Amino acid sequence: VTGSLDGIRVLDLGTRIAAPFCAGLLGEQGAEVIKIEQPGSGDFMREIGPFIDSDDGPYSLFWAVEGRGRKSVTLDLRRPEGQALLRRLAEQCDVLVENFRPGTLERWSIGPSDLPDRLVTVRISTFGQDGPYSARPGLDRLGIGYGGLLHLTGYPDRPPVRVGVTISDYLTGVFAAHAAVAALYARDARREGRGAVIDASLYGASLRILEWTIAGYDRLGVVRGRQGNRLDNSAPLDNYPTADDKFVCIVAGSDANFERLCKAMERPDLLDDARFTRLADRAAHGDVINGLVGEWTASLPADEIERRCVAHDVPVATAYTAADMFADPHFAARGDLATIDDPVIGPVRQQAAYPRVVGEDLPNPAGAPRLGEHTDDVLGDLLGLDADEIARLHREDVV
């Protein structure tokens, strides 16, 4: 069985993470993805670490992940001939994804009004395509900052802390992929071939998942802040240290889960303690009960804590490192760590495609392409250029 988007062709004009990730997700659903890169330099992701030695010199493992599942075509979009070729390529494609500063594509005469009506164009930017801040420089951290996720993350007694990955880039990429496929659906099912232009801002993606934060301010005047790992109205609940220097998250706020946890801890006496009888009691004595749970976890290795909690149906998680994932039988059984065949450094374990479709083989993306690896093939096959013409474009550094 082929992927859902088999037959769809995507132009990835993005750099760094958000837009290329969006294009790659369409690829994981079966689309063909053609990445357009600046001749000579290519995507900035090729330049950032961590690096591994290779026959080609230091090679970015970050690029090996984010660049996978696509072809690479070099094309100088700053020159009119490159722009003309881009317009011709767009005629052969269904989706175009980009994350330049707003106005850049228009300046290069490859904006939506220069491109076919049937194209679905995904425009990702820090602040969106319009509004007073749209021309400002930006990147992932500004997305979580203005989008409100940063202020909510961390400990109350410390500055807000970033999420450990570039979350607004990824989140925006997935939202945009969703909207792009919906626009494709409408184009082919109901709109007689008319595409759409999607405006996805980084800050907007964080804002969209901000729970009750906006409503709470509007109707209660509550300015929500950081709470660390505990909640005022629930206990026990925290990330607790273990005897083997890991952390386990235990969620046992409800009366039912607390009773189960007491059994897992072999502490039935806690159930008779008036401070811990009901959720509200435990919340009022959160430091005490969280402290007791923490003493217990500190006496055992993480895997034993997990074993005892699972035996009593208490929700538990170890804060997994990469090493934990490689050793985990569940990850192995589900094939979550895929082996991607990189053209420069060979097999590299990476996160697999996500989510899966039941009964279908997981797609296994091709490794990240060398810069311009597919330039000649794409220009020949899609645009019908002959070898002399392609050679001239190379000589003149258009590709």
With respect to a second copy, which residue has the nearer C-beta, 274 or 323?
A: 323
Residues 334-353 that bind a second copy (CB under 8 A): 334, 336-337, 345, 348-352
**Closest CB to a second copy among 27 and 82?**
27
Q: Is the peptide bond before 160 cis (omega within 30 degrees of 0)?
A: no
Task: Rule CB under 8 A: choose which of 300, 320, 382, 383 binds a second copy.
Answer: 320
As a whole number of angstroms, the distance between CA 275 and CA 261 comes to 16
Distance CA 299, CA 293 (A): 10
- Euclidean distance between CA atoms 347 and 345, whole angstroms: 7
Burial class (CB in 10 A: 0-12, 13-18, 19+), 116: middle
Cα–Cα distance, 369 to 382 (Å, whole number): 18
Shortest Å distance, C-beta 149 to a second copy: 6
Contact 270, 260 (CB under 8 A): no
Which residues 72-111 are close enough to bind a second copy by CB under 8 A? none
* Piece of the chain touching a second copy by CB under 8 A; list 74-82, 200-208, 264-272, 389-397: 200-208
**Which phi and psi angles does 4 have, rounded to 5°?**
-60, -35
Residues 115-154 within binding reach of a second copy (CB under 8 A): 123, 127-133, 136-139, 141-142, 144-154
Stretch that binds a second copy, among 74-82, 203-211, 266-274, 376-384 (CB under 8 A): 203-211
In whole angstroms, the minimum distance from the beta carbon of 156 to a second copy comes to 11
- Tell me which of 62, 267, 304, 374 binds a second copy, using CB under 8 A: 62
Neighbouring residues of 185: CB distance < 8 A, sequence distance ≥ 6 = none
- Mark whether 169 is an active-site residue: yes
- The secondary structure element, H or E, covering residue 124 is strand 120-125
Q: Which of residues 57, 192, 269, 359 is near a second copy by CB under 8 A?
A: 359
Please report how the helices 302-311 and 255-264 are oriented relative to each other, as an axis angle in degrees rounded to 10: 120
Strands 346-351 and 51-52: unpaired
Considering the complex, state which of residue 309 and residue 393 has its C-beta at the smaller distance from a second copy. 309
CA distance to 67, 81, 343, per residue, from 34 (Å): 11, 19, 17
Binders in 216-275 for a second copy, by CB under 8 A: 216-220, 222-229, 233, 238-241, 247-249, 251
For a second copy, give the closer residue by CB, 15 or 166: 166
At a CB cut-off of 8 Å and minimum separation 6, what does 324 contact?
318
Closer CB to a second copy, 315 or 380, in the complex: 315
Question: Which of positions 264-293 make contact with a second copy (CB under 8 A)?
Answer: none
Q: How far is C-alpha 57 from the geometric centre of its chain's CA atoms?
A: 28
If the CB atoms of residues 83 and 166 are measured against a second copy, the closer one turns out to be 166
The CB-of-307 to a second copy minimum distance in angstroms stands at 12
Print burial letters for 329-361: b (CB count within 10 Å at least 16), e (below 16): eeeeeeebebebebebbeebebebbeeeeeeee
Q: Is position 58 an interface residue for a second copy (rule: CB under 8 A)?
A: no
- The token pair at 201 is 């801002």
Q: Using the minimum distance from each CB to a second copy, give the nearer residue, 216 or 291.
A: 216
Q: Per CB under 8 A, does 207 bind a second copy?
A: yes
* Piece of the chain touching a second copy by CB under 8 A; list 80-88, 179-187, 280-288, 380-388: 179-187
Q: In 3D, which of 332, 357, 342 has the Cα closest to residue 72?
A: 342
Catalytic residue among 12, 140, 169, 342: 169
> By CB under 8 A, what part of segment 370-389 binds a second copy?
none
CB of 36 to a second copy, least distance (A): 21
Stretch that binds a second copy, among 79-87, 265-273, 320-328, 377-385 (CB under 8 A): 320-328
4-33: which residues touch a second copy (CB under 8 A)? Answer: 4-7, 21, 25, 29-30
User: Segment contacting a second copy (CB under 8 A): 57-65, 102-110, 267-275, 380-388?
Assistant: 57-65
Active site amino acids: 169
